[in-house]
């Protein structure tokens, strides 16, 4: 099923149960795929180019150096400007393949076939590609939209429960951005992720990206949960999955909004967030490990201080409100210290109850 997207949107979006070879590029193409999915790809009757790259990449390998062998391989094939790269995998592989496509010959077309819930709900749509530096996540990247996104739910069947839960947090994030607390509560209940939730999330993100493709305004709202979330993810040595870190960041964002006097969420809602996140308590890094990462966040900016003082650091932070759309505030990184402490307290309390 092709989803409705804004007129002129750069990416065709398909959401369906099983993969369809008719959705592959019509002209010359190559494949960069997660090695663990090769059997499922071939088992679905999908073709395998002779020069396909089957790779195994983790967040630790989301570096520029990992892309160089891919680029050299494409040059040896050789791939020409009319070729299309098909990326098959989760969010890490999607980010990397998209950046490699942007770099090769100054940009070749690509398709993304996301195979994790996290990638379907977030990483695969919007054209933000990137790799990490030692200083932080996604500090090197490019805007390079895929021509087509093909989300096949059959690929989710092989995911372990933790990875399905990991993707759920990007869906909850979308609800909180819009102030749809009732929808967020529904997704925090037990039971499997529902495909209409994914469809609703993709439709919302497509609209935002179309209106603000370069993240100059409205698109910044999609960073809800990511400010402290990215710091927690990196400080854990990537023991936290990305969606898990975003979930922790969402709870902290709710707490920070309350600290700043915005419309608070009911205690029962905060407890339901904490209950689902409680198993991650041991992976939450202490505040002193998070602050340096916040200071280096890619959204951080330095503002002049009084004469003779060091410049101050500020970050564009997204704050949710109960029953109302999220808003943006420019804040000092240090404001996250109190919500971080309350996060640990809430998680410990819920873990002890369990």
Contacts of 283 (CB under 8 A, 6+ apart): 236, 239, 240, 244
d(CA 37, CA 35): 5
CA atoms within 13 A on the CB side of 196: 3
d(CA 153, CA 132): 28
CB 301 within 8 A of CB 351: no
324-331 vs 312-321, strand pairing mode: antiparallel
- Are 281 and 353 in contact by the 8 Å Cβ rule? The answer is no
Is 166 considered catalytic here?
A: no
Which is catalytic among the residues 242, 296, 340, 342? Answer: 242
170 is catalytic: yes
Active-site residue (options: 128, 148, 321, 340) = 128
Cβ partners under 8 Å of residue 309, min gap 6: none
Tokens of 337: 């210290």
User: Who's near 7: CB < 8 A, 6+ residues apart?
Assistant: none
Which of these is catalytic: 173, 205, 276, 342? 205
Phi, psi (deg, nearest 5) at residue 156: -75, -15
Which one of the listed residues 59, 165, 180, 215 is annotated catalytic?
215
Per the CB < 8 A criterion, the answer to whether 263 and 321 are in contact is yes
Catalytic residue among 148, 173, 226, 276: 226
Set 219, 276, 340, 342: catalytic member: 219
215 catalytic per annotation: yes
**Residue 291 in 3-state DSSP?**
helix
Write the CA distances from 280 to 170, 341, 348, 350, integer angstroms: 17, 15, 10, 11
Q: How distant, in Å, are the alpha carbons of 20, 84, 119, 144, 207 from that of 150? A: 9, 14, 11, 17, 18
Identify whether 340 is a catalytic site residue.
Answer: no
Q: What 3-state DSSP class applies to 236?
A: coil
205 has catalytic annotation: yes
Q: Is 200 a catalytic residue?
A: no
Q: Which is the catalytic residue, given 223, 233, 276, 342? A: 223
Residue 73 neighbours by CB distance under 10 Å:
16
Q: Which of 165, 170, 180, 258 is catalytic?
A: 170
65 is known as an active-site residue: no
Return the active site residues: 106, 128, 170, 205, 215, 219, 223, 226, 230, 242
């Amino acid at each position: 099923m092709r989803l409705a997207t804004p007129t002129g949107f750069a990416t065709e979006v398909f959401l369906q149960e099983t993969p369809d070879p008719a959705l592959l590029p019509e002209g010359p193409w190559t494949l960069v795929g997660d090695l663990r999915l090769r059997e499922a790809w071939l088992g679905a009757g999908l073709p395998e180019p002779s020069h396909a790259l089957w790779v195994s990449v983790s967040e630790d390998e989301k570096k520029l150096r990992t892309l160089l062998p891919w680029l050299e391989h494409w040059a040896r094939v050789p791939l020409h400007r009319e070729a299309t790269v098909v990326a098959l995998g989760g969010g890490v592989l999607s980010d990397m393949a998209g950046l490699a496509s942007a770099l090769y010959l100054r940009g070749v077309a690509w398709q993304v076939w996301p195979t994790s819930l996290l990638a379907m709900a977030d990483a695969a749509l919007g054209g933000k590609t990137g790799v990490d530096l030692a200083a932080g996540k996604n500090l090197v990247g490019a805007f390079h939209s895929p021509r087509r996104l093909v989300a096949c739910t059959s690929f989710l069947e092989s995911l372990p429960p933790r990875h399905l839960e990991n993707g759920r947090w990007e869906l909850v994030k979308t609800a909180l951005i819009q102030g749809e607390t009732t929808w967020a509560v529904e997704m925090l209940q037990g039971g499997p992720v529902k495909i209409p939730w994914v469809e609703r999330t993709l439709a919302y993100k497509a609209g935002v990206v179309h209106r603000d493709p370069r993240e100059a305004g409205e698109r910044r709202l999609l960073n809800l949960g990511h400010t402290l979330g990215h710091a927690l993810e990196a400080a854990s040595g990537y023991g936290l999955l990305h969606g898990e870190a975003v979930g922790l960041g969402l709870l902290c964002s709710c707490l920070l909004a309350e600290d700043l006097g915005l419309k608070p969420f009911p205690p029962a809602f905060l407890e339901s967030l904490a209950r689902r996140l409680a198993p991650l308590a041991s992976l939450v890094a202490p505040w002193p490990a998070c602050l340096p990462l916040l200071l280096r966040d890619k959204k951080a900016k330095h503002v002049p201080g009084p004469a003779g003082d060091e410049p101050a650091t500020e970050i564009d932070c997204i704050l949710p409100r109960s029953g109302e759309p999220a808003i943006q505030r420019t804040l000092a990184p240090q404001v996250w210290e109190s919500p971080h402490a309350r996060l640990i307290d809430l998680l410990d309390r819920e873990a002890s109850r369990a």
